[in-house]
């Protein structure tokens, strides 16, 4: 998948060291399209944070690339971070009651 400079600004390698389906650098065209679709649907709902490709892939893999289920999980996860301290898998850090 080609990275999009609007969302992706990484200072580390973005290809998974081991070739695993659905992981960065090892996606199919269909999986790449699901990333774009999910990102577009989330933007239409007003979300603008954590829409980078690596985060989208993490969420999509967790729901076997089902965009509807992934969108529901993403929204639930983000809404949870607004209410309480939670671990953010996208940034690998603890968020304290707000979305960064």
Reported as a single tens digit per residue, the pLDDT across 57-85 is: 999 999 999 999 999 999 988 876 566 66
pLDDT tens digits for the chain (100 residues)?
788 889 998 888 888 888 898 999 899 999 999 999 999 999 999 999 889 999 999 999 999 999 999 999 999 888 765 666 666 777 777 666 554 4
In Å, how far are 32, 35, 38, 56, 86 from 26, measured between CA atoms? Answer: 10, 13, 18, 14, 29
Beta strands in the chain (DSSP E): 85-88, 93-96
pLDDT the model gives residue 97: 57
pLDDT the model gives residue 100: 43
Q: Can you give the CATH number for the domain in which 62 is found?
A: 1.10.8.20
Alpha carbon 95 to its chain's center: 16
Q: Which domain holds residue 47?
A: 1-100
Domain tally for the chain? 1
Structure-token match 């980078």, residue found? 52
Rounded to whole angstroms, the Cα distance separating 72 from 16 reads: 26
pLDDT the model gives residue 64: 96
pLDDT the model gives residue 99: 47
Do residues 65 and 34 make contact, with C-beta atoms less than 8 angstroms apart?
Answer: yes
Q: pTM for the whole thing?
A: 0.78
Do residues 21 and 65 make contact, with C-beta atoms less than 8 angstroms apart?
Answer: no
């Amino acid at each position: 998948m080609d990275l999009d400079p609007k969302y992706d600004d990484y200072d580390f390698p973005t290809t998974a060291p081991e070739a695993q389906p659905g992981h960065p650098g090892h996606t199919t065209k269909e999986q790449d399209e699901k990333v774009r679709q999910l990102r577009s649907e989330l933007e239409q709902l007003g979300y603008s944070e954590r829409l980078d490709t690596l985060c989208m892939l993490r969420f999509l893999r967790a729901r076997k690339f089902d965009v509807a289920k992934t969108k529901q999980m993403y929204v639930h996860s983000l809404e949870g971070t607004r209410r309480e301290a939670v671990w953010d898998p996208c940034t690998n850090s603890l968020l304290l009651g707000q979305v960064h």
